[in-house]
Amino acid sequence: MAENMDRYSGTKQKSPRRLHTAAGKFAPDYQEEPKRLRTMRLTDTAWAKLAQIADRNQITRSEVIEIFARDGELY
């Protein structure tokens, strides 16, 4: 198994770009609106494409969806 893979889910660890507060906790990405856990169904192809976009931009798949939904641009 690759060294940067989560041994339970087989997915990569979150990107190190997330900021931390002085107390060492994660700082929220969107101050005005906390993120909530959601569930969706995607094909394996869509999941892989999200991973490619996330890797190119050094962000998580979740953040890719957030940016798309907020009319942002990614490369």
Residue 16, domain member (yes or no): yes
Average pLDDT over residues 3-16: 50
Count of structural domains within the chain: 1
- pLDDT tens column, 53-67: 999 998 899 999 999
Q: pTM value?
A: 0.60
User: What pLDDT score does 52 carry?
Assistant: 96
Residue 58, domain member (yes or no): yes
Residue 4, domain member (yes or no): no
Give 15's pLDDT tier (boundaries 50, 70, 90): low
Residue 50's domain comprises 9-75
Q: Quick one: DSSP state of residue 51?
A: H
Residue 63, domain member (yes or no): yes
Q: Quick one: DSSP state of residue 49?
A: H
- pLDDT tens column, 65-75: 999 998 888 77
Residue 27, domain member (yes or no): yes
**Residue 47 to residue 55: CA distance in whole angstroms:** 12
Q: Which two tokens stand for residue 65?
A: 């969806």
